[in-house]
A and B are shown apart, each in its own frame.
Chain A
């Protein structure tokens, strides 16, 4: 079972920041937070991951609370192409490398 809770849907205006929340209150010390997204009819795409510290890459920023029980994915300037289902995943960094997907958040970017 997925260990994360996300709102089923959100929307934002094109050009504005999209902030997608995720709760993972039962996260353990050795578990990472991963974000993937799935644009309609395509395979999931990796976005970013982190353990404790905030992370940023060319796609997004990941803000993890100090107690690590929740996180927020930030798309700084959302475009129409960012419309997708966003999955927040908690996984143990072990040899199985198993991703357990939840139901995700469907983000709609409005023109």
Chain B
């Protein structure tokens, strides 16, 4: 069974559209993250939620809005998509920050292409 899953795996869309990427983890972790990996392969954190509360919010445009309906899910909604949003988006989870669970488990990624 996949520990951290993301849907869809691929997403091709037009500029200006609104899209969502879903993430689910079945590890019982308290904390979930969204990372963006651009074309130059740099991996940067965007958001983190701990028990459905936002704890990390990096400098990300307001068009990006994470939503955590419960601790097992962290979805990423993107409004008014731009060409520069094309990237691979990774979801990750870990046990409570600072606790015994030091490892972040990453999902397989969602490849977003904005045309």
CA distance A34 to B42 in the complex (A): 17
B97 at the interface (CB under 8 A from A): yes
Please determine whether B90 and A43 come into contact, CB atoms closer than 8 angstroms: yes
Please determine whether A44 and B43 come into contact, CB atoms closer than 8 angstroms: yes
B94 at the interface (CB under 8 A from A): yes
Please determine whether B42 and A42 come into contact, CB atoms closer than 8 angstroms: no
Closest chain A residue to B58, Cβ basis = A98
A78 at the interface (CB under 8 A from B): no
Interface string of B1-42 (1 = CB under 8 A from A): 000100000000000000000000000000100000000011
Q: Name B's interface SS.
A: strand
Q: A43-B90, A43-B92 are in contact. Are A97 and B48 (CB under 8 A)?
A: yes
CA distance A100 to B48 in the complex (A): 13
A25 at the interface (CB under 8 A from B): no
CA distance A49 to B56 in the complex (A): 22
A53 at the interface (CB under 8 A from B): no
Q: Inside 8 A of B44's CB, which chain A residues have their CB?
A: 101
B79 at the interface (CB under 8 A from A): no
Please determine whether B98 and A94 come into contact, CB atoms closer than 8 angstroms: yes
Residues of chain A having any CB pair with chain B under 8 Å: 34, 36, 38, 41-46, 49, 85, 87, 93-101, 103
Q: Provide 19 A-B residue pairs closer than 8 Å at the C-beta atoms, listed in order of the A residue.
A: A36-B104, A43-B107, A44-B43, A44-B90, A44-B104, A46-B104, A46-B105, A85-B41, A95-B55, A95-B97, A96-B48, A96-B55, A96-B56, A96-B97, A97-B48, A99-B45, A99-B104, A100-B45, A101-B42
